[in-house]
Amino acid sequence: MAIGIIGVGTMGSKMLKKLVEAGYTVYARDIDKKAEENAKKLGGIVVDSPAKVAEYAEIVLLSLPMPSDVDNVVLGTDGLLSNPKNLKVIVDLSTVDPFTTQKNAKYAKDVGVGYVDAPVLGRPQNCGKWTLPVGGTKEDVEKCRKVLEVLASRVIHVGPSGWGNVVKLLNNMMFGAINAVTAEIFATCKKFGMDPKILYETIANSGAATVSNLFKELGPKILRRDFEPLFTVDLLHKDMMLGIDMAKKLGVPVFVSTSNQLLNEMARLMGYGKEDTAAVIKVYERLLNIEVK
């Protein structure tokens, strides 16, 4: 079976590598020529448009930055639905809003193409062990399940179209809360005059209900001043923006996430957008004239 991947950057390249290793023929497309060159090195076949991908591939995976990018790839003049020769299912692994997914799923259905949302829960380097919450019809999910199981140890059909997106956005709103409060408590600890390392080691090894894997990851990064990005402030800001907008459309007041997003916005304004989310600690450091380490 031929697979397509549109968007072969940080996440998409990991998917391509896994699928080639699993014996699939993979057609690739990206607007970044360096990403396409890397895709060739990994064993992908690069073509010049989404329409060409749809000409060869039965299942096409999307890994794109924004809802507008997904729209262009799916609905554009040279998009996937303009030439669905062999195309059976589009699988969007991007982080987008459920309303975009539901709209595109309707257009896909009109031309006989399945559409599922399967946003990634997990780091790029853990491809193969990801969790994928999948939204769509049971029939469409089953058509692509074997392919998704190459990328994830858990493929969970969470419900109809857009429900995978809901899980992802709510997860990343929770990520934003843990990220923000970790920076806040470390800054408070330092301002009091206490060694933040003592705070971290006491809490992280306590077995308390407050301890999360993210806290265990962020603490050491902050203490050793390591802001190399595993997940950037810019990306967290974008995901939280989508989540907050979704909640507002549903009439849900988002007191906590709105506050956390202000911290992300300040970090971006101060020039830390390309750094790891742990870099929000620098906002507190500048405000309080301290350094947490």
What residues are labeled active site?
A: 168
Q: Tell me how far apart the alpha carbons of residues 289 and 191 are, in angstroms, rounded to a whole number.
A: 9
Partner residues linked to 2 by β-bridges: 25
* Neighbour tally for 209: CB within 10 Å: 6
Task: Return the closest-CA partner of residue 153 out of 126, 131, 125.
Answer: 131
* Neighbour tally for 99: CB within 10 Å: 15
Task: Identify residue 19 by its one-letter amino acid code.
Answer: L
Q: Tell me how far apart the alpha carbons of residues 199 and 219 are, in angstroms, rounded to a whole number.
A: 10
Burial class (CB in 10 A: 0-12, 13-18, 19+), 240: buried
277: left (phi over 0), alpha (psi -120 to 50) or beta: alpha
